[in-house]
Chain A
């Protein structure tokens, strides 16, 4: 399929009209969701992910509790109608378990789990639509949901996918591009510039890696700004709704104010 579509034409435009380094439309919805302590719905173009966070709370089973820190429990569900072809994945599906484990290991060094010994933080990821960049959407949504739930973290985690088409690097790949182009997903903590995840399922020439990696890190900074704006907007909304704008701002708000 890909061979008939020009992924990057002579004028430097991709099949969806973006330039090489252009990201897709990024929207964030931080409104309340059911009983969840924090929720975030994120879209990267047509990829749509909803993440809810419960906790820190008592673990369901004693086996999962740790005496010195909280356990992160990540569960991923993919809606059967999210992709072009209907496919129902069960809970034990290898791909789902792998992605959940990736998300968990990305967030373990960032969430300050040592503050909540013998407890559990549940992160439920629901994929509603997929069009490439699934992992990046899951990670960005999880960051925002954790922030929304008031779980203390060292920094935001911003993820972005980069690929290379012959020799030209591209950012934020769609499904069509992802199928044809070697790609790498990078998750960055933008304040410190530390990287918590680099993952690749395709082969990429070693000479191209550095270029893409640097580009993805720069793109993560752009996403960080967007995410911070979304959180600030939401918090300002909540503060004004409480009528407490003149009083002591809540903790989430001060954290963000310090940062900027």
Chain B
């Protein structure tokens, strides 16, 4: 959205006045209402739909992001990695950016893909249960996000949707299958002494026990599988829009173009240890000095913590709602 100088200055003056004034009457650290639903894509292993700033009267609108994860089996020998692989991709629907040319749209989605992939799939966050058979088979987790419409604050929405979809992801239970030659039985030679066979001996140097499992099968169980490991560690992001000397959250499109610089901070809040800053990115033109940045990180953490706990309680609520729904359906049979 391009604004004239006068419009920009009008918005900036409003933000800097005392008390600060915004177009929709929010305070500087207010978010628009966020709507979240998990399990929206029946063919995916985990999915979520997130809308920021939907019209409260059911009229639609707002920033809308759809996220879904899919699991595929990979051979470790071919392209897979031991312990599983994860890839992330963001697709911008032309609906969300009707004024961009296809080339610009590709650039934009590449940029978003890079930020999400590097942050979410950092080795420190790698889910522990993506391996199937060590050294042979593993899961490839692909997270696809589609931006259906953008009315500001798209990065926060992307990270929240990604977190919700990953939270919702269920990894199917597997059982490894072993093929063993029959040691004794009807076919075994009656008298081993008549045949010249070396007895199999374990070498003293073989300290490594090779996995003998060759294939796997899916365990038949009532639910879709176990939760993806490390689900509480997935980060949330917060975009601080800077209009020096102050900053504000959840920018609407005109505010977005009136703020010259933004800082994107992604925090994860592991249960056991301290808060971790997973990513930091400065967007737009302008510069920041180190003391300013320190202060922004400290305030960003505070906001992210609130967002994180709100998102968590919503995700838990969704878990209950969906398991309740599944139980009801089961009871109806």
Contact = CB atoms under 8 A, between A and B. Distances in A.
Given A54-B98, A77-B91, A79-B66, A34 B150 contact: yes
Interface in A84-119: 84-86, 88, 91
B43 A36 contact: no
B96 A34 contact: yes
B101 interface: yes
Interface string B92-109: 011110100110001000
Contacts of B270: none
A39 B60 contact: yes
Contacts, number: 89
Interface string B21-62: 000000000000000000001111001000000010111111
B64 A34 contact: yes
A36 B40 CA distance: 23
A82 B89 CA distance: 14
B278 interface: no
B95 A126 contact: yes
Nearest to B96: A34
A80 B98 contact: no
A79 B55 CA distance: 25
B61 A33 contact: yes
A81 B94 contact: no
Interface stretch (B140-148, B189-197, B301-309, B312-320): B140-148
Given A32-B59, A34-B61, A129 B95 contact: no
A128 B94 contact: no
Bin chain B's interface residue count.
35 or more
Interface string A107-139: 000000000000000101010110000000000
A35 interface: yes
A179 to B, nearest CB: 16
B144 A80 contact: yes
A60 B106 CA distance: 17
A86 B45 CA distance: 11
Interface string A39-54: 1000000100010101
B117 interface: no
Contacts of B146: 77, 79, 126, 128
Bin chain A's interface residue count.
20 to 34
Contacts of B217: none
Contacts of B106: 91
Contacts of A85: 72
Please indicate which of the listed interface residues B58, B64, B91 has the most CB atoms of chain A within 10 Å of its own CB: B91
A126 B60 contact: no
A9 interface: no
A82 B146 CA distance: 11
Contacts of B98: 35-36, 54, 122, 124
B307 to A, nearest CB: 23
A243 to B, nearest CB: 14
A83 B93 contact: no
Contacts of B151: 34-35
Contact of A81 (B43, B57, B58): B43
B201 to A, nearest CB: 47
A252 interface: no
A102 to B, nearest CB: 18
Contact of A129 (B41, B62, B101): B41
13 contacts: A32-B61, A34-B150, A35-B98, A35-B149, A36-B149, A60-B101, A77-B94, A79-B66, A79-B68, A81-B44, A124-B93, A126-B148, A128-B41
Interface of B: 41-44, 47, 55, 57-62, 64, 66, 68-70, 72, 89, 91, 93-96, 98, 101-102, 106, 142, 144, 146, 148-151
Q: Sorted from nearest, which 7 A-B pairs have the closest CB atoms? A: A34-B149, A31-B60, A81-B68, A32-B60, A52-B95, A80-B144, A86-B70
